[in-house]
């Protein structure tokens, strides 16, 4: 997993803080937002380690939080998601959509009960998108009506996958296959080559898309993702609107993951 110091000596994970530090940070207005990373532990073809999605979303969350330090903290990553579609491959771990969604809500609710108003569910696994997006308005209503929240706290809850932030032109420029994020192919292999090459078993690559991967491509795409997530957080902290649909990238453009329309 990424270094919890963010490489700059900043402790942004909730688990790295003492209760005193967290309590006082919220009380004095220093801690104003939290990221809840959601991901998966699942097969990533023959060549990528199954921690891929969790490793990546944790990196994105940590680095983005560091850019707003000390205003943003990161919750413990939720490392098992909705992966029933990969259960034919032993080693994949999955959770039923309704159980997963309720678990995520409880983590978000815990942060809101502590007094954190701005909450970003940052996702790193495609199978988690529909279960959470479909219940996001319900989650907001439940938070609004919760008697356990501090008086007067108005919660700003958002869901976003870290790849939603990419510019479509950049994707088409860097990705030879024109696809992003895909699954264990050109994009995910490239970014892992940039972040943790020891987790890429190149001798076991068994598909043409993954064979197109390179560390250079990964390095070009990491910074825009971190910057994009940091921008979302900045807008949330400023009380500004964020308009980014859940997308995946194809040669024909940005495909809305819920409606199936090109946006």
173 part of a folded domain: no
Asked whether 250 and 241 are in contact (CB, 8 A), the reply is no
Q: pLDDT for 2-16, tens place per residue?
A: 554 444 478 999 999
Q: pLDDT for 131-189, tens place per residue?
A: 999 999 999 999 999 999 999 999 999 999 999 999 999 999 999 999 999 999 999 99
Mean pLDDT estimate for the chain:
95
180 part of a folded domain: no
175 part of a folded domain: no
The pLDDT score that the predictor gives to residue 263 is 85
Instruction: Print the domain residue range for 102.
Output: 14-166+222-256
The pLDDT score that the predictor gives to residue 6 is 42
116 part of a folded domain: yes
> Domains in the chain: how many in total?
1
143 part of a folded domain: yes
126 part of a folded domain: yes
Dihedral angle over CA of 188, 191, 192, 197, nearest 10: 140
68 part of a folded domain: yes
Q: Specify the CATH number for the domain of residue 229.
A: 3.40.50.10310
247 part of a folded domain: yes
Beta bridge partners, 72, equal: 33
Rounded CA separation 213/43 (Å): 18
């Amino acid at each position: 997993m990424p270094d919890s110091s963010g490489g700059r000596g900043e402790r942004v994970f909730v688990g790295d803080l003492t209760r005193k530090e967290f309590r006082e940070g919220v009380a004095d207005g220093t801690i104003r937002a939290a990221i809840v990373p959601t991901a998966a532990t699942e097969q990533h073809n023959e060549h990528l380690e199954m921690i891929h999605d969790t490793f990546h979303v944790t990196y994105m969350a940590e680095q983005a939080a560091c850019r707003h330090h000390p205003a943003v903290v990161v919750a413990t990553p939720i490392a098992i998601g909705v992966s029933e579609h990969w259960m034919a491959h032993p080693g994949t771990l999955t959770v039923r959509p309704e159980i997963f969604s309720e678990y995520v809500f409880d983590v978000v609710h815990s942060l809101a009960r502590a007094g954190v108003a701005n909450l970003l569910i940052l996702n790193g696994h495609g199978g988690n998108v529909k279960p959470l997006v479909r219940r996001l308005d319900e989650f907001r209503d439940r938070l609004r009506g919760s008697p356990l929240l501090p008086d007067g706290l108005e919660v700003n809850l958002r869901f976003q996958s870290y790849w939603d932030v990419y510019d479509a032109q950049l994707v088409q420029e860097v990705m030879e296959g024109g696809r992003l994020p895909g699954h264990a192919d050109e994009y995910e292999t490239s970014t892992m080559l940039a972040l943790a090459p020891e987790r890429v078993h190149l001798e076991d690559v068994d598909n043409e898309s993954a064979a197109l991967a390179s560390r250079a491509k990964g390095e070009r795409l990491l910074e825009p993702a971190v910057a994009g997530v940091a921008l979302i957080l900045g807008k949330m902290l400023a009380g500004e609107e964020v308009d980014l649909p859940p997308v995946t990238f194809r040669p024909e453009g940005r495909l809305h993951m819920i409606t199936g329309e090109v946006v």
